[in-house]
Amino acid sequence: MGKKKETFCCECKCALVKDHIALSKKLLGRNITQFYCITCLAKFLECEVGDLEIKIMEFKEQGCALFL
Ligand SMILES: [Zn+2]
């Protein structure tokens, strides 16, 4: 069993799911090295978590490669 590489939110240190890493890259730039969970990203961008969830769905529908 290989050790699973986990990525953590740079703010609250919670473990991130793939979609949230992809969302950070999509909204903050592909070259970022620190990622936010959806809650901290919403705070950072001063929007609602629900808005970001909608964005994730939209990016998936668009077939964005980051979300595959
Ligand atoms: Zn966080």
pLDDT computed for residue 20 by the predictor: 96
pLDDT computed for residue 55 by the predictor: 97
pLDDT digits (tens, 9 = 90+) for 9-66: 999 999 999 999 999 999 999 999 999 999 999 999 999 999 999 999 999 999 999 9
CA of 7 to the centre of ligand 1 (A): 11
**Can you say how many angstroms the Cα of residue 33 is from the centroid of all Cα atoms in its chain?**
12
11 domain residue, yes or no: no
Q: How many domains does the chain have?
A: 1
**Can you say how many angstroms the Cα of residue 3 is from the centroid of all Cα atoms in its chain?**
22
The DSSP secondary-structure symbol of 30 reads T
30 domain residue, yes or no: yes
Here the tokens at position 39 are: 């809650």
CA of 50 to the centre of ligand 1 (A): 15
CA of 42 to the centre of ligand 1 (A): 9
CA of 55 to the centre of ligand 1 (A): 18
10 domain residue, yes or no: no
The whole-number average pLDDT for the span 2-11 is 84
The candidate with the shortest Cα–Cα distance to 58, out of 12, 26, 36, is: 26
- Name the residue range of residue 47's domain: 18-67
